[in-house]
Amino acid sequence: MNSFSIGDLADKAEIRASTIRYYESIGLLPNPKRVNGQRRYTKKILDQIKFIKIAHSAGFSNQEILVLLEGFEQQAAPSERWKQMANTKRVELKEKKHQIEAMLNVLDTGLKCDCLTWSECFTKISPDGRCN
């Protein structure tokens, strides 16, 4: 089969057809060729959806993925695009990791605390994460 219907593509990509239409509306996917009024997709689009899913799972937003796909100079190879975006995303993820670790410390401390209210406990937590 040289082309897929939107339903076939959704099944193969393990996403909803509405997600495919949404990706088209925001430019992540090109508008498809139509045959007798029906959208028809190639394997190339399936590969692009797989790329989008991987980028989403790595924490990239739709806007960042658009930049990865289209927002660089034509001479910039996909590997260069990834390097540029990865460096930026690494900084974001490290900050998020720091925030998550701080919240885990607060929760762990709260689980060991004998305070009557969360706000009481929270005001007693020292910078090292212990309840005083």
Tell me which of 27, 46, 71 is where a domain ends. Answer: 71
Nearest to 41 by CA among 69, 17, 61: 17
Tell me, yes or no, whether 64 and 83 share the same domain. Answer: no
CATH of the domain at 14: 1.10.1660.10
Mean pLDDT of the chain: 83
Query: CB of 48 within 8 A of CB of 29?
Result: yes
Domain boundary among 45, 71, 97: 71
Contact 22, 52 (CB under 8 A): no
**CA Rg value for the chain:** 23
Please indicate, yes or no, whether residues 115 and 126 belong to a single structural domain of this protein. yes
90 and 119 together in one domain: yes
Note the pLDDT tens digit of each residue in 43-89: 999 999 999 999 898 888 999 888 877 766 666 676 777 787 778 88
Q: Kindly state whether residues 77 and 58 are assigned to the same domain.
A: no
**Do residues 67 and 12 share a domain?**
yes
Same domain, 12 and 23: yes
Q: Do residues 84 and 130 both lie within one domain? A: yes
pLDDT classification of 105: cutoffs 50, 70, 90: confident
Higher pLDDT, residue 41 or 112? 41
Q: How many domains does the chain have?
A: 2
Grouping H, G, I as helix, E, B as strand and the rest as coil, residue 39 is strand
Domain housing 119: 73-132
